[in-house]
Amino acid sequence: MLVLSRRVGESILIGNDIEITILKIDGGAVKIGITAPKSYKVYRKELYERIMKENIRASEAKPVNIKGVFEDGQSDRKSDKTSGRTEQGRTG
């Protein structure tokens, strides 16, 4: 692990396109700003770990058989015969 000391207003560059700036130091908390391309996803570590755990749990779930959900062969949209529109406002 690289350890660097920075003061308020000072920055750290990662590669050519990520900049981390120290914005405020208040007691034991440090507020940082991160400038990075929108294509990069930036997460707090604890949130990232929860996302990964949930993704693993979802990938282990058994598939659900939806056959027979629409047993009568009709969709769940009801049409309004007087206006010719479906409940969702589309013309039918």
Structure confidence at residue 4 (pLDDT):
95
- With respect to residue 87, please indicate whether it lies within any of the assigned structural domains: no
Predicted confidence pLDDT, tens digits, the chain (92 residues): 999 999 999 999 999 999 999 999 999 999 999 999 999 999 999 999 999 999 999 888 887 778 777 766 555 555 555 555 555 555 54
pLDDT at 67: 79
Decide if 92 is inside a domain: no
pLDDT of residue 69: 73
Domain membership flag for residue 44? yes
How many domains does the chain divide into?
A: 1
Instruction: Give domain status of residue 36, yes or no.
Output: yes
Q: Is the model's pTM score more than 0.75?
A: no
47 within some domain = yes
Range of the domain at 37: 11-59
Hey, CA dihedral for 74, 78, 80, 84, is it positive or negative? Answer: negative
pLDDT attached to residue 72 = 63
Residue environment code for 18-50, b if the CB has 16+ CB neighbours within 10 A, otherwise e: eebebeeeeeeeeeeeeeeeeeeeeeeeeeeee
Q: Which residue has the tokens 């000072």?
A: 10
Tell me, yes or no, whether 16 lies in a domain. yes
